[in-house]
Amino acid sequence: MRARSGLVITFLLAGLLTGGRSSGAEMMASFFDMFDTKFSVKVVAPRETVREYAICKAVWFAEKKKVAHIALSNPVYAPPNASSPLTATLPDDWVSLETTAYFEAPSPDGNPTFTVAEKAHWCRKGWDWYH
């Protein structure tokens, strides 16, 4: 198992959020702890979309790695400003979520694998950035 330590990829989605939000805050995803069999992702987003955003970011990265199936660990939620390098104050309904994606095997939490291609189809329909 080969680690890709020190590599953190951060994506910022520019622009205002849809749904009448005018905070100007940007959703964020960071990928870290990358190994041949797993990687971790941390996202910061509005509470009502953070889970789907994290799943789609994990699926997007798994597609780039050409992984057919992944399983996600149970998510860990936290206030976003407590552990984020963001300098802007985020709206009260934003949270951070951290999870680990395991390749081709269930997660240690017992969560089953799912097909990356099937989830990617759903993500492309739901998120403009997923193309």
Does 77 or 2 have the greater pLDDT score?
77
Give the tokens for residue 7.
């590599």
This prediction's pTM: 0.80
Position 126 confidence tier, pLDDT thresholds 50, 70, 90: very high
Q: What pLDDT is attached to residue 24? A: 61
Q: What are the CA-CA distances from residue 61 to residues 17, 89, 90, 92, 123 (Å)?
A: 22, 28, 25, 28, 12
Q: What pLDDT is attached to residue 92? A: 86
pLDDT in tens, 107-125: 999 999 999 999 999 999 9
Percent of residues, the chain, with pLDDT higher than 90:
67
Per-residue H/E/C for the chain = CCCECCCCEEEECCCCCCCCCCCCCCCEEEEECECCCEEEEEEEEECCCHHHHHHHHHHHHHHHCCCCEEEECCCEEECHHHHCCCCCCCCCCEEEEEEEEEECCCCCCCCCCEEHHHHHHHHHHHCCCCC
The answer to whether residue 81 scores a pLDDT higher than 90 is no
The answer to whether residue 51 scores a pLDDT higher than 90 is yes
CATH topology of domain 9-126: Gyrase A; domain 2 (3.30.1360)
Task: Report domain extents, the chain.
Answer: 9-126
